Amino acid sequence: MSDTVLVLNVGSSSIKFALYGDPAARPLLRGKIAGIGIGAGPVLSARDEAGNVVPADEIPAQDPAAGHDALIPSLLTWLAGYQRGTRIVAAGHRVVHGGRDLAGPQMVSDALLAELDALVPLAPLHQPHNLAAIRAVSAFMPGLPQVACFDTSFHRTQDRLAQLFALPRALTDAGIIRYGFHGLSYEYVASALPVHLGGRAEGRVLVAHLGNGASVCAMRARQSVATSMGFTALDGLMMGRRCGAIDPGVLLHLMEGHGMTAAEVAHLLYEESGLFGVSGLTNDVRVLEASTAPEAQEALALFAYRAACEMASLAAAMEGLDAIVFTAGIGENSALVRDAICARLGWLGVALNKDANAANAARISAASSRVDVLVLPTDEEGVIARATRALTSG
Ligand code: AMP
């Protein structure tokens, strides 16, 4: 019987999962339950080690009304049956918030869960789902070693100035600081930099994680120096449905002038803004790129404009720029968005090779470019699997 590590990345409407034999290799199985609590109900899809789609008749039917608590046991039952001859020996979880102090992955214990429960007010949309998944696994497989990996940990190397808001000190002391997110993605990219950049990997590198959620991280010596997301995952870049950085006076006006409640403003900022809100169409970049509607083109132009401005600002935070890495769904696949961003960064020494960019090649900078520009697929699940194996073996 061979040992496997289960990786769970639980969001509000989806559960992403992967099963690793060797955490340094491709997962034996990778999949997703999407549509939890919305539309026709949850749908499970998965691919095996070779990238083949696992046939639908192998996937158990899901109750449309099932929530996370019901889905995790049924997922674990399915996984146990799918991989005959293997057994899950540990589980690793993506947990959005590790607070100020947790600078690396942690073994799950009652004390840790209590500490993470206390952080729920800082990430009310994500943290409860992450912790519910840990508890559901504990209930279904009592005694299974579990590891929590945090999206905030990678940024704890930042100087104090990069983490401060210009607010009264009492609020800073109460934990209202810039935490930063997407840390597991940045950790993966940081680990992959030497292969692609050699000695320049230790220089000043901007990593743009452009997915449905989007942020940029400035790294020096492969450590986070500054990042565009702050206290919440709303700050910084324009995103799929989130507005990114906004004049806080707008929020006061919406509440005082338009009579909106806090919940209504939150819904507007998290769900109705970004590419979706500006285009009035969709948050899917593929659809926006194919559309001739001026609103769709303006949404893409604004996305690239905001990203380039944030990236230039982070170049100042790390006092120079040696390389840019694009990653995540849009960063890995949209030549148009990368081109529009890099066109605004020419003054920093960025020049693209158009053909390499159109082909989504690993290196897309022109030979003449002072700044290396790379496209690297991220692998958050792999980071979690390796951390879980490292903390639980021996
Ligand atoms: P992620 O959150 O990293 O999964 O990224 C999701 C986003 O990536 C989607 O909403 C799409 O907008 C974008 N995306 C995925 N594939 C492509 C593609 N081939 N071309 C342009 N954008 C893409």
CATH number, residue 40: 3.30.420.40
Cα-to-centroid distance, 337 and ligand 1 (Å): 11
* Structure tokens, 257: 């002038």
**Residue among 273, 278, 279, 341 nearest 306 (CA):** 341
242: region left, alpha or beta (phi > 0 left; psi from -120 to 50 alpha): beta
Whether 81 and 228 share a structural domain: no
Whether 129 and 205 share a structural domain: no
Q: Are the CB atoms for 107 and 23 separated by under 8 Å?
A: no
Q: Which of 110, 125, 150 is the last residue of a domain?
A: 150
Q: Annotated catalytic sites, by residue?
A: 151
* Structure tokens, 126: 């994500």
Backbone angles phi and psi of 316, in degrees to 5:
-65, -40
Pocket of ligand 1 contains residue 283 by CB under 6 Å: yes
Q: Burial of 50 by CB count in 10 Å (0-12 exposed, 13-18 middle, 19+ buried)? A: exposed
Atom of ligand 1 nearest to the CA of 336: 21
Q: Are the CB atoms for 129 and 92 separated by under 8 Å?
A: no
Whether 120 and 219 share a structural domain: no
Instruction: Give the C-alpha separation, 94 to 97, whole Å.
Output: 9
Q: Whose CA is nearest to atom 9 of ligand 1?
A: 284
* Structure tokens, 392: 């639980």
Whether 352 and 290 share a structural domain: yes
Q: Whose CA is nearest to atom 10 of ligand 1?
A: 284
Whether 203 and 329 share a structural domain: yes
Cα-to-centroid distance, 9 and ligand 1 (Å): 18
Pocket of ligand 1 contains residue 333 by CB under 6 Å: yes
Cα-to-centroid distance, 286 and ligand 1 (Å): 7
Pocket of ligand 1 contains residue 282 by CB under 6 Å: no
Cα-to-centroid distance, 229 and ligand 1 (Å): 20
Whether 227 and 355 share a structural domain: yes
* Within-domain flag for 174: no
Whether 124 and 22 share a structural domain: yes
Collapsing DSSP to helix, strand or coil, 336 comes out as: helix
* Within-domain flag for 179: no
Pocket of ligand 1 contains residue 210 by CB under 6 Å: no
136: region left, alpha or beta (phi > 0 left; psi from -120 to 50 alpha): alpha
* Within-domain flag for 383: no
Atom of ligand 1 nearest to the CA of 209: 3
Pocket of ligand 1 contains residue 284 by CB under 6 Å: yes
Alpha helices in the chain (DSSP H): 68-82, 110-117, 127-140, 160-163, 169-173, 183-197, 248-256, 262-271, 274-279, 285-290, 294-317, 328-333, 335-343, 354-358, 380-392
Q: Are the CB atoms for 28 and 19 separated by under 8 Å?
A: yes
Whether 60 and 129 share a structural domain: yes
Partner residues linked to 352 by β-bridges:
365
Instruction: Give the C-alpha separation, 282 to 316, whole Å.
Output: 33
Cα-to-centroid distance, 290 and ligand 1 (Å): 13
Collapsing DSSP to helix, strand or coil, 42 comes out as: coil
* Within-domain flag for 384: no
Pocket of ligand 1 contains residue 183 by CB under 6 Å: no
Q: Are the CB atoms for 91 and 8 separated by under 8 Å?
A: yes
Do the bridges between strand 146-150 and strand 86-95 make them parallel or antiparallel, or are there none, so unpaired?
A: parallel
Our measurement of the distance from residue 32's CA atom to the centroid of its chain's CA atoms, rounded to an integer in Å, reads: 15
State the total domains in the chain.
2
Q: Which of 126, 212, 330 to mutate to test the pocket of ligand 1 (most atoms within 8 A of CB)?
A: 330
pTM confidence score = 0.94
Collapsing DSSP to helix, strand or coil, 48 comes out as: strand
Q: pLDDT below 50 — which residues of the chain? A: none
Q: Which of 126, 150, 174 is the last residue of a domain?
A: 150
Q: Are the CB atoms for 203 and 322 separated by under 8 Å?
A: yes
Whether 25 and 125 share a structural domain: yes
Q: Which of 150, 166, 184 is the last residue of a domain?
A: 150
Whether 102 and 225 share a structural domain: no
Query: Hey, CA dihedral for 218, 388, 115, 380, is it positive or negative?
Result: positive
Q: Are the CB atoms for 249 and 283 separated by under 8 Å?
A: no
Which residues form the domain of 11? 2-150
Atom of ligand 1 nearest to the CA of 275: 12
Which positions ≥6 away from 322 have C-beta within 8 Å?
197, 200, 203, 204, 205, 371, 372
Pocket of ligand 1 contains residue 334 by CB under 6 Å: yes
What pLDDT sits at residue 25?
87
Whether 123 and 237 share a structural domain: no
* Within-domain flag for 25: yes
* Within-domain flag for 294: yes
The per-residue b/e assignment along 186-200, b for 16 or more CB within 10 angstroms, e otherwise, is bbbbbebbeebbeee
What is the per-residue pLDDT across 327-364, written as a single tens digit (0 to 9) for each? 999 999 999 999 999 999 999 999 999 999 999 999 99
Cα-to-centroid distance, 339 and ligand 1 (Å): 16
CA atoms within 13 A on the CB side of 362: 8
Cα-to-centroid distance, 159 and ligand 1 (Å): 32
Whether 131 and 209 share a structural domain: no
Pocket of ligand 1 contains residue 274 by CB under 6 Å: no
Strand order in the sheet with 323-327: 223-227, 214-220, 204-210, 323-327, 372-375
* Within-domain flag for 389: no
